[in-house]
């Protein structure tokens, strides 16, 4: 399990990332609601809390059995490097434990400037992105996001391999189901603008469940498509406009 160093955890605890037991706590950071053209009316209150500020720090969270070497992660990184070189981009390799994954992310973004970060997540990473966005109060983009991973991943308990490197193995342990349940924020209102890109042709997740999960989000509902979003490059301009990357 990945855990922050003792010194680092003390610093994070002071900022509200961890409680005294060392577990992830609610991240109460300054809001950075940014009005975006096309937001649903449900998000209008979010868009008027403070003037918009461009995003200078972008977090990308990959999905289950995936890695920073995934096609979408590499495309996003290349797009940012070419068109938005001033943006700090981070796509960490997430550990199998959801609690450890969020602890690792919390440590990594602890020193990022308040109000100028955003997060993108794919599949399980979309579920994680909602957790990060809720606590960091930052804009988020969900790509075919997992809605109930505690339910869906129960059948994957045991040894697994990664999509990008089948020789790389890890164990998905039974206790991770409870950790996923602890991160579930369904029913809680969005704290910052959301963009959900969802394919009706997703062969892994139910597009109806995904759209229902994000009633306040700006929705891009694709006819056809697939879970991996092979046309992801076509959506990069919309994502970068939504996040207002510097």
DSSP assignment string, 57-110: EEEEE--TT--TTSHHHHHHHHHHHHH-TTSEEE-----S-HHHHHHHHHHHHT
State whether the Cα torsion 189-195-201-205 is positive or negative: negative
The predicted structure's pLDDT at residue 161 = 87
The predicted structure's pLDDT at residue 237 = 96
Residue 196's nearest CA partner among 58, 69, 38, 71 is 38
Calculate Rg over the CA atoms of the chain.
17
The predicted structure's pLDDT at residue 225 = 95
The predicted structure's pLDDT at residue 33 = 32
Q: Number of C-alpha atoms within 13 angstroms, CB side, residue 72?
A: 28
Measured between alpha carbons, how far is 199 from 120 in angstroms, rounded to an integer? Answer: 16
The predicted structure's pLDDT at residue 164 = 75
pLDDT tens per residue across all 246 residues of the chain: 334 444 445 545 544 455 555 555 533 332 333 333 333 323 444 543 444 689 999 999 999 989 999 999 999 999 999 999 999 999 999 999 999 999 999 999 999 998 999 999 999 999 999 999 999 999 999 999 999 999 999 999 999 988 677 888 889 999 999 999 999 999 999 999 999 999 999 999 999 999 999 999 999 999 999 999 999 999 999 999 999 999
DSSP 124-185: HHHHHHHHHHHHHT--EEEES--S-HHHHTGGG-EEEE-SS-TT-EEEE-THHHHHHHHH--
Query: Phi/psi at 130 (nearest 5 deg)?
Result: -65, -35
Measured between alpha carbons, how far is 115 from 30 in angstroms, rounded to an integer? Answer: 6
The predicted structure's pLDDT at residue 227 = 95
Q: What SS3 class is residue 205?
A: coil
């Amino acid at each position: 399990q990945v855990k922050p160093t003792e010194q680092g955890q003390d610093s994070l605890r002071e900022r509200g990332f961890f409680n005294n037991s060392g577990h992830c706590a609610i991240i109460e950071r300054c809001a950075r609601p940014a009005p975006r053209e096309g937001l649903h009316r449900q998000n209008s209150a979010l868009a008027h809390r403070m003037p918009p500020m461009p995003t200078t720090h972008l977090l990308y969270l990959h999905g289950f059995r995936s890695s920073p070497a995934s096609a979408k992660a590499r495309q996003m990184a290349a797009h940012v490097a070419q068109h938005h070189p001033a943006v700090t981009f981070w796509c960490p390799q997430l550990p199998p434990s959801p609690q450890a994954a969020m602890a690792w992310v919390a440590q990594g973004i602890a020193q990022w400037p308040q109000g100028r970060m955003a997060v993108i997540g794919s599949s399980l990473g979309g579920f994680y992105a909602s957790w990060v966005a809720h606590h960091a109060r930052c804009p988020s983009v969900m790509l075919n996001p997992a809605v109930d991973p505690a339910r869906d991943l129960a059948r994957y308990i045991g040894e697994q391999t990664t999509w990008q490197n089948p020789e790389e193995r890890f164990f998905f342990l039974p206790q991770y189901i409870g950790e996923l349940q602890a991160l579930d924020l369904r029913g809680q209102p969005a704290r910052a603008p959301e963009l959900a890109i969802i394919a009706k042709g997703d062969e892994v997740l139910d597009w109806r469940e995904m759209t229902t999960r994000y009633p306040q989000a700006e929705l891009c509902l694709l006819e056809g498509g697939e879970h991996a979003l092979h046309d992801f490059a076509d959506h990069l301009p919309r994502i970068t406009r939504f996040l207002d990357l510097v």
